[in-house]
Amino acid sequence: KMANFDSVESAREFFYKDLFAVNTGVTLDELTEDEAVCSLELNDTHKNAYGGVMGGVIFTLADFAFAVLSNQIHQLTVAQQVSINYLSAPKGDKLIARATCRKSGRTSSIVIVNVEDDLGRDVAQFVGTGFKL
């Protein structure tokens, strides 16, 4: 198995063109052949009308981590089907998404993204099926 990006810096250079995620505040912190770790410092722009973190913010972070790892495994991979389970409201100041590959097949991959806050609370689990182009 071969990684597509030779460093986390080259992956950042590529994925930081994803302006929606970047403008939301998402960063790529770590990248190996087997794992991508992304994070987001929370602020008031991430809150919904009730004062909680908007689901779309959590989804965007998880989706970005999925995209990074999927395309580390095989370029070009696009999302074919994804789902997210929101587990609990974040209480901390930061979200961390850890993407790992569950299966990498000939034409598709399954990536699990676990999202937690900086207090260790499980916030969400995202499962993505990537289609390898």
- List domains and CATH numbers for the chain: 8-132 (3.10.129.10)
* This model's pTM is above 0.95: yes
Average predicted confidence (pLDDT) for the chain: 96
Contact 74, 100 (CB under 8 A): no
pLDDT class of 2 with cuts at 50, 70, 90: low
Instruction: Give dist(CA 61, CA 40) in Å, integer.
Output: 7
Strand partners, 104: 109
**Residue 77: φ, ψ to 5°:** -120, 135
Query: In this predicted structure, what is the pLDDT of residue 87?
Result: 98
Q: What is the mean pLDDT of residues 6-32?
A: 97
Query: In this predicted structure, what is the pLDDT of residue 3?
Result: 82
Instruction: Compute the CA torsion angle 67, 21, 11, 110 (nearest 10 deg).
Output: -10
Q: How many residues does the chain have?
A: 133
**Residue 57: φ, ψ to 5°:** -70, -45
pLDDT at 1 exceeding the cut of 70: no
Give CA separation, 47 vs 19, 53, 56, 97, in Å.
Answer: 19, 4, 10, 18
> How far apart are the two ends of the chain, measured CA to CA in Å?
17
CA-nearest of 33, 124, 41 to 87 is: 124
Query: In this predicted structure, what is the pLDDT of residue 94?
Result: 98
pLDDT in tens, 97-123: 999 999 999 999 999 999 999 999 999
pLDDT in tens, 64-73: 999 999 999 9
Q: What is the mean pLDDT of residues 21-35?
A: 97
